[in-house]
Amino acid sequence: MAEAEQRPNAPLLQSSSSRLPDFKQSVKLKYVKLGYHYLISHGMFLFFSPLIAVVVAQLSTLSVKDLHDLWDHLRFNLISVILCSALLVFLFTVYFLRRPRPVYLVNFACYKPEEARKCTRQVFMNRSTLTGSFTEENLAFQRKILERSGLGESTYLPEAVINIPPNPCMAEARKEARTVMFGAIDELLAKTNVKPKDIGILIVNCSLFNPTPSLSAMVVNHYKLRGNIVSYNLGGMGCSAGLLSINLAKDLLQVYPNSYALVISMENITLNWYFGNNRSMLVSNCLFRMGGAAILLSNKRSDRRRSKYQLVHSVRTHKGADDKCFSCVTQEEDEIGKIGVSLSKDLMAVAGDALKTNITTLGPLVLPMSEQLIFFATLVAKKLFKMKVRPYIPDFKLAFEHFCIHAGGRAVLDEIEKNLQLSEWHMEPSRMTLYRFGNTSSSSLWYELAYSEGKGRIKKKDRIWQIAFGSGFKCNSAVWKALKTINPAKEKNPWMDEINDFPVVVPKVSAL
């Protein structure tokens, strides 16, 4: 997702439409109820826990004589014993059959392009000028976007885009896709020692490039994956498609026992560079960059010891039923037939509404009881007693140690930091990812998590919240629990050879 700069005469990033709405203005009760529905529907453990605790406490008080008397009593009540035993066996069988399989994140890898693909901001402007496609006014507009974007001097673009002249064609787009996907997968397989034939589920997401054969078929062909692999290719789902892929993999891993799921998240730049002069379509040129990630998930309990994380929750929010939300990010032709992705002036407001819905649903699943009690007290006062109180926005820093917020653009990160009252430390992975790699679409969350690992911040039992936005309009969350303390000295990720250079200060405006 990107900032919604729209009109030539509009002040850059100043209008109210470029800000998220204040979350404290309203909280819809139906989304709170939805979160508690999720909680109760998985609440058998909550039901049995007090009962088990009472039984254990009672048994701990029994003496040897009490146990002997109990045995004598049971010997003469055989039918009762059999019935109770059968009931217990039945209940435990139902519980274990209905209990969801755990989903482990064994490891992940982020693709780091070669040095030849680096594109400084000045090189970007030079290439844009040399294409001859943009007016002087729109070249100046792109320069202003870059100066305020939060991007640094070391982001990457594919060869077909930075060549003179550019060469956007199907062959080059396939070349970019192979480079990114296979680069990330090769590193992941080396990290995990998993053989390609062991992978039972494959999910690839790429919103704007959907060739035939599909990208998932390209992976199957290159790695000679097995013939009965369950494969999916997700397209057109925006920057939140990475978490949608994780959610789909989670559901599939409930069905297929003892399986590995390979998830690949990426975007393709080559065929989606805009060469027109519609400003609502030019913003994506300035922000989106080359990148991708591969993630290996498992439902094998034997993999728990070597896995990094366990998936705790995934919450999906879809606002597509609303026409304004549906049309705020649209791939279309401009007035002269050039294809680009148009960003509506309502984008930030739509994103804020989707985010508010998502966190209101997620809250009951993750927040400590103290926060929930305060939240409900203010909600009841406002909704039932019509008192003029502002809804309490819970402190999500009590629920999570780390935040991975999609690095869609600087304005988005600024507004989320303010609304969720996060610190600079919490925002650092997202801001540094935007600075170093740009907006890599659905894979940006994994560059952010890799940054936290590289800094040695991930400790055992830490909770990580990943949150992303996407066209449609969607806001999706995933919550992970760290199963081990990550030792950065043993990590191989795109940050490790330069991690000591970060964080850096990124000024509000960095002149070109």
Catalytically annotated residues: 239, 318, 402, 406, 439
42 DSSP 8-state letter: T
Token pair 């991930």 is at which residue? Answer: 458
- In one-letter notation, the amino acid at residue 355 is L
The CB density around residue 138, as the number of other CB atoms within 10 Å, is 17
Token pair 């830490």 is at which residue? Answer: 462
Q: What span, in angstroms and rounded, lies between the C-alpha atoms of 391 and 356?
A: 12
Q: What span, in angstroms and rounded, lies between the C-alpha atoms of 372 and 395?
A: 10
| Torsion sign over Cα 113, 116, 119, 124 | negative
The CB-side HSE value for 168 (13 A sphere, CA atoms) comes to 15
Q: What span, in angstroms and rounded, lies between the C-alpha atoms of 287 and 434?
A: 9
Question: Three-state DSSP class for 347?
Answer: helix
CB 363 within 8 A of CB 372: yes
Q: What span, in angstroms and rounded, lies between the C-alpha atoms of 512 and 505?
A: 16
Task: Please give the torsion angle defined by the CA atoms of residues 434, 283, 292 and 454, in that order, rounded to the nearest 10 degrees.
Answer: 0
Helices (H), 76-214: 78-98, 121-130, 136-149, 159-162, 170-192
Q: What span, in angstroms and rounded, lies between the C-alpha atoms of 359 and 32?
A: 9
Q: What span, in angstroms and rounded, lies between the C-alpha atoms of 467 and 354?
A: 11
Q: What span, in angstroms and rounded, lies between the C-alpha atoms of 354 and 352?
A: 5
- In one-letter notation, the amino acid at residue 72 is D
| Torsion sign over Cα 420, 423, 425, 431 | positive
Q: What span, in angstroms and rounded, lies between the C-alpha atoms of 233 and 235?
A: 7
The CB density around residue 330, as the number of other CB atoms within 10 Å, is 14
- In one-letter notation, the amino acid at residue 417 is E
> If we measure between CA atoms, which residue out of 367, 354, 178 comes closest to residue 268?
178
Phi, psi of 379 (to 5 degrees): -70, -45
